[in-house]
Chains A and B, each alone.
Chain A
């Protein structure tokens, strides 16, 4: 068990080597096998830690190599080890088939190395036990992600996306370094245990600063508003199985870091920490889904939806901090469990959706939804899997998204138990925000699925689209099973996650009052739900509706006709709802948020206005964050940089003068201080 993790790391290294050594199909297969094997062994280690509920030092062989390298899985980290396995195994499998289309165009060796390196650093990040190790793994993860995003390096949007990604990530990294310096009292090689004791002696101001730095640093990686701009650019341009890992896992590891700091290392924080996290989470959830609704690029839509789901996780984590500060430990544990559950659930369904979008991209060569349509006939498997993922993402029962969001709601509704009116009010506002986000997400995924897979093909490429190869379908199938399992089995998984939550709480083995059994009851005592009963009811209802229709109408007659033909002849694909049109009502409702730029121009016949040649309609969303936040920021940086540039006169004497003056100044300062 202890050496399982060492084996995992070694296997990833083997995967990297094989990517370089082996060519073509053999190379792709070796990369996929090693990545899947390594991540499933990591997940096995994670499961055994969760079942035993104890902290387990891992990979003693590495510690023997250097005493600073101490890896350890506690229940919290173990949850994320499991998540890595859940997503990486199907993604690796899928990647075997998917990366075939990269052969000859881009370096498969680089792609294979990057995949295994990303998994390696992810594993290290969630098992690190000291800031220095954590930061090293974190930076490795960032750079691996950077290389992954840059796979299709000859395209302008890719380069732009990668630049934004690496810039914002490094600002975040800086925040994390400062945060760890504050928490550890300046010693980055202290262990997390030392930091826990050190944090108790820190002033509330220092702890608050550390919390905000952690929020900014991890938020930059997780894609919280307003640090999210890179995410919808970078995640779509990566190869789809890497996109699945980036959105499904890497973002979650940032949530892990945030929970590790704000709920564990920094001790019990005041309520305002939770309030800040809740607020930012709510803004991210609503903002993310609002922008997701308006996207035409399918993968970009999914990336914005990731921003939404990160917001939901942040809401849950924030609620946990608030509850703990009011001493409502049961609700705090429920919130943490909900956050972790949503991390797992989102990891699985978002990976599934990205793989589905990848299959569509693979078949049609496009990510533009306005080019799709009618794919459900041509790609039945992909279509079914994507539908399943979309239902889970829309948080409909009985799939994974419902189970996790239900728990988040239960936790927030438990806010009524907070004696303080402010606390209760914040919770209910957050619950409202979550409900709004959930409704919009449902609309968003109806649109994503409907426009892509239903109706008539809108382009040649969609017309001749083909189903994906078996390995890609297998990858999606595994994730679909994951969605169903997470939806049906929360009563088995929740107690395991509660171990992670109690570990974080540092309260020993307090028993959470979530009962085992088929039904799941929450400590807020408001409600309980049984996924199996719900699923059975849904199936029975569906069957009943089908049967009753059949009984009312008599036996079905099969009649071949044009989809959505409505009896008209000469139906063309241009007559159907477009992605833009579908989103139009919401664009009008939320016009104050989107501030759409619209341009309508009509060409008339010169003699009469009643004869219209052509109507051109162009619409674009104002890039609010880019326009109001990043552009001024960049401009300010540029102005400062120009000022500073005057120092760079090019004169050797000036440079020498700077050096000498610095030396003199240092000497004088040292003299005055002593």
Chain B
């Protein structure tokens, strides 16, 4: 029984991790959105599994809400935004595909290193999924750093959030429902704000290439601002 439980969670976590890897080798925003949708479905399923084996009926609600929010609502908004902005491709990321995949692999290794004490100490049946969830968090971060289009970065943020949710469920069998709801609301609001900004950025700069934001920095640095000295002795 227990072994089926742990196998299911490990399988779910692995699938979710593979979905985040999709962000690294695909180029089009459509495929990013579908990768995110699949990942959300998987995380939701893992939540339901933990709820079933852990006898926690609250987790069913969490899973349902999760599915509604991240597999239906957010992908819908994403697709609508993409339609408004046009079919964009992440053609020139800072890090090319091969190197990205390599770094992704290293990040997963790193997550095994940093979660090692947790996994060793823990006797949860879900413990084998913890490093994988951590890996999703790291890869989400990496996507945000290395990709130029604002929409890709938003998806990176959403993936990162999925990783955190998965980590919470695997590590603690789900945090209290009320906290979970708060987190959902946070994600939704954050996402909403980003959408608005994204639209504004696109309108203003005619591009959602975040690189362009560099222009907003102070360009001139005056080295010779006079040192105004003390009047005293």
Contact = CB atoms under 8 A, between A and B. Distances in A.
- The answer on A and B forming one complex is yes
A651 B233 contact: no
Interface stretch (B18-26, B109-117, B174-182): B109-117
Interface in B186-233: 210-211, 213-218, 221, 223, 225, 227-233
Contact of B232 (A625, A638, A663): A625
B114 A668 contact: yes
Contact of B142 (A635, A652, A660): A660
Contact of B227 (A634, A650, A671): A634
Given A660-B142, A660-B145, A287 B233 contact: yes
A657 interface: yes
A34 B195 CA distance: 56
Nearest to A168: B230
Contacts, number: 93
6 contacts: A164-B230, A623-B231, A625-B230, A626-B232, A657-B145, A667-B114
A291 interface: yes
A656 B231 contact: no
A230 B232 contact: yes
Contacts of B215: 650
Contact of A626 (B138, B211, B230): B230
Given A656-B145, A664-B110, A664-B138, 10 more contacts: A229-B233, A623-B229, A623-B230, A626-B231, A631-B227, A634-B227, A650-B214, A651-B213, A660-B142, A668-B110
A650 B213 contact: yes
A674 interface: yes
B217 A653 contact: no
B233 A231 contact: no
A656 B223 CA distance: 27
Interface in B75-115: 94, 110, 113-114
Interface stretch (A68-76, A608-616, A641-649): A641-649
A674 B213 CA distance: 41
A232 B146 CA distance: 54
How big is the B interface, by class?
Answer: 20 to 34
Contacts of A657: 145
Interface centre among B138, B141, B146, B218 (most CB of A within 10 A): B141
A651 B215 CA distance: 9
A160 B231 contact: yes
B227 A635 contact: yes
A116 B113 CA distance: 59
B144 interface: yes
A228 B232 contact: yes
Contacts of B141: 656, 660, 663
Interface string A658-674: 00100110011011001
Contact of A653 (B114, B116, B145, B221): B145
Contact of A624 (B210, B223, B225, B233): B233
Nearest to A638: B227
Closest CB pairs A-B (n = 4) = A650-B217, A229-B232, A626-B230, A229-B230
Interface of A: 157, 160-161, 164, 225, 228-233, 287, 291, 304, 621, 623-627, 630-631, 634-635, 638, 642, 645, 648-653, 656-657, 660, 663-664, 667-668, 670-671, 674
B114 A671 contact: yes
B113 A671 contact: yes
Contacts of A674: 117
A568 B210 CA distance: 85
Contacts of A650: 213-218
Contact of B230 (A630, A642, A653): A630
Contacts of A230: 230, 232
Contacts of A638: 225, 227
Contacts of B145: 653, 656-657, 660
A656 B142 CA distance: 9
A642 B218 CA distance: 13
A368 to B, nearest CB: 15
B144 A625 contact: no
Nearest to A228: B232
Contacts of B227: 631, 634-635, 638
B35 to A, nearest CB: 20
Nearest to A650: B217
B101 to A, nearest CB: 18
Contacts of A660: 141-142, 145
B49 to A, nearest CB: 27
Interface string B144-174: 1110100000000000000000000000000
A668 to B, nearest CB: 7
Contacts of B216: 650
Interface centre among B144, B218, B227, B233 (most CB of A within 10 A): B233
Nearest to A232: B232
B230 A649 contact: no
Contacts of A625: 230, 232-233
Contacts of B229: 623, 626-627, 630-631, 634
A291 B231 CA distance: 12
Contact of B213 (A287, A626, A652): A652
Contacts of A648: 217
Given A635-B227, A638-B227, A653 B146 contact: yes
Nearest to B144: A656
Given A625-B233, A631-B229, A657-B145, A645 B211 contact: no
A642 B232 contact: no
B217 A652 contact: no
A652 B152 CA distance: 14
Contacts of B113: 668, 671
A282 to B, nearest CB: 16
Nearest to A632: B227
Contact of B228 (A160, A225, A664): A160
Nearest to B148: A653
B228 to A, nearest CB: 7
A649 B214 CA distance: 8
A158 to B, nearest CB: 12
Contacts of B146: 653
A653 B153 CA distance: 10
A642 B231 contact: no
Contacts of A233: 230-232
A295 to B, nearest CB: 10
Contacts of B225: 638
Given A660-B141, A660-B142, A291 B230 contact: no
Interface centre among A232, A233, A624, A660 (most CB of B within 10 A): A660
